[in-house]
Amino acid sequence: MIIFTHHTGEPHGLMGPQVAATFLQRRLSIPSIVVGIERDFSKEQLLRFIDQYYKGGGKIVAFSHLCGRKDIFELAQDLKKEGFITILGGPQSWQDYHGEMEVDSHPNRFKGLKSMMEVGFQGPVDGLRPELLERRGVCSKYPWTKNLFLEVDWLNIYTFSDTLKKLEVRLGQVLNTIGCPYACKLQTVTLPPPINLLERGIPDLKVRSEGCIFCDVSWDKGYHGSVEHGQVITQIAGLPDVDGRKIPFELIDEYPICSLDKLLEDTKRHEIKISQINLVCRVDDINAHASELVEILSTAQRLDVKIMFASIGFESFCDRLLQYFCKGITMADIVRCVETLRRLKDKFKEYLLYRREEGANHGFIRPTPWDDSETLQEMDRNIFLHRFFEDILPEHSTPLIIHHASCLGDWIRQIEAKTGITFSRAGTWIEWWNPSLK
């Protein structure tokens, strides 16, 4: 089986699809490879490769982690027409398989991928059984637990642009926590309509949020606690080696700081030489553990291990937008976080990485539906005043993406239900900037 997924072509592995391929091979005896499809790929060449790969074999192909790419959806549709059984797995598979609610009365809404994906599977790959692969017209669910299959064949990944290429992974992933604890924070926020609809007299609307309001992961996975520590060490031990050390890896955990010291000491005790740990985390984790970071970085320095804050979820430099995002932080929190990082950088030099030129890419969402002269001026003022352009600001901001299965998707549907205005859909995304005012 081929598991197709989105890929940029950079030398990083994809834990989810690669765990799935490893499970299929080792537990179900189904030979499998992961193929990351780059943008602007040659569909003609890819279809030729697929035809050759499956020659004389069962025509079952899987898709995972597609990042809303319509070109990959079209590929699935083409393969289904050619007689393949198409399977959808990975993040948001249940929601993407079934689509939005009330599509009969709202034909503009996303109808789901069930017309092109014959089989759906939601949850960790542990629950996958051979008979599920042929249950057409069904999306099965399997619950998340702490005891997961986490073996990864990091050599089993390829990319495709105009030909199949073996990918030499130089950045791996290690699962430390399943989901995000902040997703358990239920709150209600009052949101105004998009700025381009203010003159339509649309009232402010109350929206229920689970964690960050734009997060589709909170609906998909929620939070299920930490992985057993021994499994974390086993995952690290299974990473590829380069020059006698494990390749850098992202520790999958939105609140990773508390586990770092034990992780460093245990890898030393097990004689596992690691090179760099990348963190994708929240501002409040750094602020809450600023004092512990001194000891953690001292241990990392002693072990010659770099700690990189690869992506911190700042998201905005405007208090009003942070409130709309339900980030649970303020501009004062962001300033405190950045000052901590700068102070630690002066002390630990190359053992603490967080700057843009060091490879970090921090969260900055812009444009948003609520950008006006006031929010833009506040952001620009804060960026200049606190010198975020020197080290924090990414080269490119990320437009606010509304996945149909997110709390903001509910907000859009409320506007549609109350006004008759409709918003265009682009695959699994809702185009908040593209309303129909008929």
**With the CA atoms of 397, 374, 340 and 347 taken in that order, what torsion angle do they form, in degrees rounded to the nearest 10?**
60
| 273, HSE (Cβ side, Cα atoms, 13 Å) | 6
Residue 264 · residue 300 · CB < 8 Å? yes
**End-to-end CA separation in angstroms for the chain:** 47
Report the helix count and the strand count for the chain, using DSSP H and E: 14, 22
**What does the pLDDT look like over 164-197, one tens digit per residue?**
999 999 999 999 999 999 999 999 999 999 999 9
Residue with tokens 């000052």: 339
Residue 438 has what pLDDT?
62
Cα–Cα distance, 179 to 127 (Å, whole number): 18
Residue 81 has what pLDDT?
96
Percent of the chain with pLDDT over 70: 100
**What does the pLDDT look like over 80-94, one tens digit per residue?**
999 999 999 999 999
Residue 296 · residue 307 · CB < 8 Å? yes
Instruction: Provide CB contacts within 8 A for 82, sequence distance 6+.
Output: 59
**What does the pLDDT look like over 23-76, one tens digit per residue?**
999 999 999 999 999 999 999 999 999 999 999 888 999 999 999 999 999 999
Cα–Cα distance, 363 to 310 (Å, whole number): 10
**With the CA atoms of 385, 390, 391 and 396 taken in that order, what torsion angle do they form, in degrees rounded to the nearest 10?**
90
Residue 387 has what pLDDT?
98
pTM of this structure = 0.95
Tokens found for residue 184: 């358990």
The residue-averaged pLDDT of 278-295 equals 97
